[in-house]
Amino acid sequence: MDDFYHALKVSPDACTGCTHCMTACPTRAIRVRHRLATIDAAACVDCGMCLKTCARRAIFVEQDDFNRIFQFSHRVILLPTVVFGQFGGEVSEERIFAELHAMGFTRVVETDRAAGILAAAMRDYMARNPHRRPFISAFCPAVVRLIQVRFPSLIPHVIPLKQALDLSAIYARRELELAGVPGNEIGVFYVTPCAAKIAAIKSPVGEEVSPVDGVINMDFIYNKVQVGLTRHRDQPLPPAPDQEFLSPESIAWTLSGGEAAAFEGRCLAIDEIHNVIDILEKIENEEIPGIDFVELRACDHSCAGGALTTNNRFLTLERLRARARANDGRRREAPEGIRQHDAFLRERAPLPGKIFPRPIERLDEDMTVALEKMQKINRIMEVVPGVDCGACGAPSCRELARDVVLGKAKLDQCIFMRQALLREGLMTPAEAIEMAERTWGKGRFGENK
């Protein structure tokens, strides 16, 4: 299996192996070993649930060094609309734009400006491929990865187009190149609300390389803007280039229901990864007939609930709704804006490659062997306690049984089984402690004699 880049990392110093993330992971990708949460790269979909549940902030999102932007003479920052929702109403958009310029960016492009062109491309794709109904949006990279690992039979329903993030990056680059700037002097940096978008940029699905040069975490940019706002509090607003007003539809694009509102027919909008899994199960079973389009987002309240956002998601929504109202009817776009590149972007919108299945559920390639393994799992299930305590370092008894059969764990990791073995005299107390240390870490039970 290929290697998949994951932005989510665990800090061995901060992690205590508490199992919260392990229980929260929707693809059951986490195990606790030696007092440390470890993430299975093949099963992780970068949804960020682990980061959100970690009370010790031991799970973090790796980002590029900010100073890398200065390797380029033309530094473009791609902003998702959600950025504006991070700030209170007292911070004007002009101030935010000014701060982004002040920290070194030469051009600010809102990613959702490409939403209109993308919606048109999606409409076009759906009209030309009616047999692929129900259509599933490829908006959320965590959802695309979830489909690859857990619902591979639904891959043909995914609309194989690049997203607003990619199209706006292509546009930003194109615009500068047309103005005579050499390609190697242009750096395009995306401000991400989540880990999934980083993974999508570092190891894209369905394309070789991403048009984005680097990624900056949204909380990092938020802090940097806040520092600037404090420092420049009493200074007049420095001149920043004119901004175009994003249309209400484009502002809504990354929020729940934003895509679904753009299309005809029966469209559903679902957010939060467990809700997404639930609906994908139903779609896979053909339980809901007559659906045309499904918008699926891994985070609660879509990108407003991203793991790297700082503001309360409801306050984010409030500000963005106010922004949409304020922009309604205002000058949508300069004549030299993104629309001018419509044909150019539409031509580049289809994903050049395939979205491959990467099923994680199978027990073996060979069905006969898989059957034997399943029988072994069922036998183990008869002896384990079935309380899913997580003390063995696996999220459930069934997962431990599966790990044992796949040779990734030992059954005596189970504290219940150890008690039984101790009672029968089949294990010494010292052996029991040694076994427990494999999950809980050395020295947790005092020094060994």
Partner 1 sequence: MEFSYDIAGGDFSRAGAASSEVKKILKQLNVELAVIKRVVVALYEAEVNVVAHAADGVMQVTLDSASIEVVIRDRGPGIPDIALAMQEGYSTASPRVREMGFGAGMGLPNIKRNCDSLDIESTVGVGTTVRMVTFFNR
User: Which residues would be at the binding site for partner 1 (CB under 8 A)?
Assistant: 152-153, 281-282, 284-287, 289, 357, 359, 361-368, 370-371, 374-375, 378
Core vs surface per residue 88-116: b (16+ CB within 10 A) or e: eeebebebbbbbbbbbebbbbbbbbbbbb
The answer to whether 135 touches 193, Cβ cutoff 8 Å, is: no
Report the residue number, 152 or 441, with the smaller CB distance to partner 1. 152
Report the residue number, 336 or 366, with the smaller CB distance to partner 1. 366
- CB proximity list for 421: less than 8 A, separation 6 or greater: 412, 427, 432
Q: Give the three-state DSSP class for 214.
A: strand
Report the residue number, 1 or 179, with the smaller CB distance to partner 1. 1
Return the structure tokens found at 430.
């010292």
Smallest distance, Å, CB 270 to partner 1? 17
Smallest distance, Å, CB 42 to partner 1? 15
Smallest distance, Å, CB 389 to partner 1? 22
Return the structure tokens found at 445.
């039970």
Smallest distance, Å, CB 367 to partner 1? 4
Residue type present at position 400: L
Report the residue number, 341 or 402, with the smaller CB distance to partner 1. 402
Smallest distance, Å, CB 157 to partner 1? 12
Report the residue number, 238 or 359, with the smaller CB distance to partner 1. 359
CA–CA separation, 171 vs 94, rounded Å? 22
Smallest distance, Å, CB 28 to partner 1? 12
Return the structure tokens found at 427.
């294990």
Distances (CA, A) of 68 to 64, 72, 299, 445: 8, 8, 29, 46
Return the structure tokens found at 416.
């219940």
Report the residue number, 331 or 379, with the smaller CB distance to partner 1. 379
